[in-house]
A and B are shown apart, each in its own frame.
Chain A
Amino acid sequence: MDLRVEFAGLVLKNPIITASGTFGFGLEFSSFGDLKRLGGIVVKGLSLKPREGNAMPRIVETPCGMLNAIGIQNPGVEAFLKDKLPLLPWRETAIIANLYACSVEEFGDLAGVLSGEEGVAALEVNVSCPNVTHGGAAFGQDPAQITKATEAVKKRCGNKPVIVKLSPNVTDIAVCARAAEAGGADALSLINTLLGMAVDIKTRKPVLANVVGGLSGPAIKPVALRCVYQACRAVGIPVVGIGGIASAEDALEFITVGATAVEVGTANFLRPDQSFRIIDDLPRAMLKARAADMAELRGSLVLPGQ
């Protein structure tokens, strides 16, 4: 069965991409599956300068999910290009850089550093910086900032496709989706994590040192699916679905509401070969959905009354 998908100038073997922060730099998983079989790999969030990230504890398991407040610990974009990228099978699999910054200028600079790198297939722009902008909203919740960050990246990215990754912690996801499209995004990816919290009643302290953290995993799938559905209706550019995907069936749900590809995140912790198993299972799930290929399934949602 042909599982190929094409969007924003990318050609992927299949629609399964590993999500940023849950698959390291890919190399951590090379003994559990052939990285070349993945549709793509989004690497850990990269910033201009190395970041130590947040204090511990940073993660906690919650029913059907987890909270994380890693704080984008990463060695910096230069170290990624020097030490990690050359070891990745970038000729065979799309390696997507995930950009983290808290200002429009920094996003532009990051894109500039990555623009000439042959091994980088696309840029995913994480606009979920929790810092408050001049407008009073957190960066990723401010549509004007999303547009500006997208423009800044587009201006400096050379010919790399730009995927803007949206936060679900907003009143209307469609507004943010349109803001990214207006900035010139080639595609969208969503959702990032939902802001959450856990408390230890014995100590009466928050479990995470950062007090709040991002909820991910199967628990957020219904919210993610709703966001992807709304975003797909709001924009004309392709959408990558993310949030709680743990099986081939889950992936097909996102494609049915209009996603072109999907990212698998927290499910990589169920077992380190989970993304490979989802790919193996796709043909069977496609038969179940009575879909001939990905293009036929995409956006084929049948709404009441149709």
Chain B
Amino acid sequence: MVVRNCREVKVQSVRFLGTWDEASDFVELTLENPGWESYRPGQFAMLRPKHWGLELPWGRPFSISRLDAETLTVFFQVIGRGTSRLARLNPGDEVVVWGPLGNGFSAPPETPTLLLAGGMGIAPFRGYIENHPTPEFLRLFFAHRVPLANYPYLAMAEKVRAEAMQEHTPEDLPRIIERIRELMDENHGGIALACGPTPFMRTIQEHAVAGGLRAELSLEKSMACGVGACLGCVCKNGEGKHVQVCARGPVFQADAVQL
């Protein structure tokens, strides 16, 4: 049983993985474990530093990147008001954390599993690889814009078969899409798990649905509560009904969600 709670925990470390330009930093934030024994990779946590006043009333959702007995790690890119403040946290600062939230990815043992990560979408797969019962069946494909050093990719590539493609120019995009389709076709009988920007996810969804391939997609929406209460984060499911991404997702079967 995964027990969900809300706790104040201390920051252990804030590590900058690399800087692409001044405005966008890549940060690995390690906190004390909030008393979680386990989680399902693909689940996320809401974070809100205790010293935040009322100006930013919402917590911020991040995929759980790693969890061990002592620590919880998230990995994020600075993109706005909240993440820029989070990047300025210091060891010892207290952060209110609630989770683990959402459903998480499937992890069938001894099944060829293709991990498709686009940019920051790589975050949940770090823990996925570490927790998988049969990691030798995993294969990682990583599409990225900024240099690899900004991501935890290399550590992951040591554990599973992995390849990365960088998008330097718009002409690179068709090559990346072609490679994703190839990998999905080669993975027949297995499952593909995807996390990344919406156009990336659309490519995967279209190919999976067209070919009848099993795939799961992890979605991102603005979130206020993170627990299914405010109905601010909905997407449409297969029947066209609004469902909360935070509570019914963030992971959806590719053929049962509208992007």
Contact = CB atoms under 8 A, between A and B. Distances in A.
A273 B56 CA distance: 17
Interface string A55-91: 0111111011110101001000000000000000000
A58 B96 CA distance: 25
Contacts of B155: none
A73 B230 CA distance: 10
A73 B59 contact: no
Interface string B132-149: 000000000000000000
Contacts of B235: 56
Given A59-B222, A266-B57, A28 B231 contact: no
A281 interface: no
Binding site secondary structure of chain A: loop
Given A59-B224, A66-B224, A218-B57, A270 B231 contact: no
Contacts of A270: 48, 54, 57, 59
B234 interface: yes
B54 A246 contact: yes
B221 interface: yes
A interface bracket (residues with beta carbon within 8 Å of B): 35 or more
Determine chain B's interface SS by DSSP, over half rule: loop
B58 A218 contact: no
B227 A271 contact: no
Contact of B228 (A24, A52, A58, A60): A24
B133 to A, nearest CB: 27
Given A56-B235, A61-B56, A61-B58, A272 B6 contact: yes
Interface in B38-76: 48, 54-59
Interface in B229-254: 229-235, 241-242, 247
Contacts of A218: 54, 57
B98 A28 contact: no
Nearest to A69: B232
Given A28-B225, A271-B48, A271-B98, A70 B57 contact: no
B226 to A, nearest CB: 8
B53 to A, nearest CB: 8
B210 interface: no
Nearest to A61: B58
B44 to A, nearest CB: 14
A68 B228 contact: no
A21 interface: yes
A60 B222 contact: yes
B241 A52 contact: yes
B229 A22 contact: yes
A70 B225 contact: no
Interface string B5-37: 110000000000000000000000000000000
Nearest to A59: B232
A74 B59 CA distance: 24
A241 interface: no
A29 B57 CA distance: 18
A62 to B, nearest CB: 9
Contacts of B232: 58-59, 68, 70
A63 B5 CA distance: 27
A61 B48 CA distance: 14
A24 B222 contact: no
Given A28-B225, A56-B235, A60-B222, A70 B54 contact: no
A24 B229 contact: yes
A29 B234 contact: no
B222 A57 contact: yes
A269 B48 CA distance: 10
Contacts of B222: 57, 59-61
Contact of B57 (A28, A56, A65): A65
Nearest to A62: B57
A129 B139 CA distance: 52
A29 B54 CA distance: 21
Given A61-B57, A268-B229, 19 more contacts: A31-B4, A32-B5, A32-B227, A52-B241, A52-B242, A53-B242, A58-B231, A58-B232, A59-B222, A61-B58, A65-B57, A66-B57, A68-B230, A217-B54, A246-B54, A269-B58, A269-B230, A270-B54, A271-B98
Sorted nearest first, the 8 A-B pairs with minimum C-beta distance are A24-B229, A59-B232, A28-B229, A31-B4, A218-B54, A269-B224, A28-B227, A28-B228
Interface of B: 3-6, 48, 54-59, 96, 98, 221-222, 224-235, 241-242, 247
26 contacts: A22-B225, A24-B225, A24-B229, A24-B230, A29-B227, A29-B229, A31-B4, A31-B5, A32-B6, A32-B98, A32-B227, A59-B233, A61-B58, A61-B222, A64-B54, A65-B57, A70-B230, A70-B231, A70-B232, A218-B54, A268-B229, A269-B57, A269-B224, A270-B48, A270-B54, A271-B6
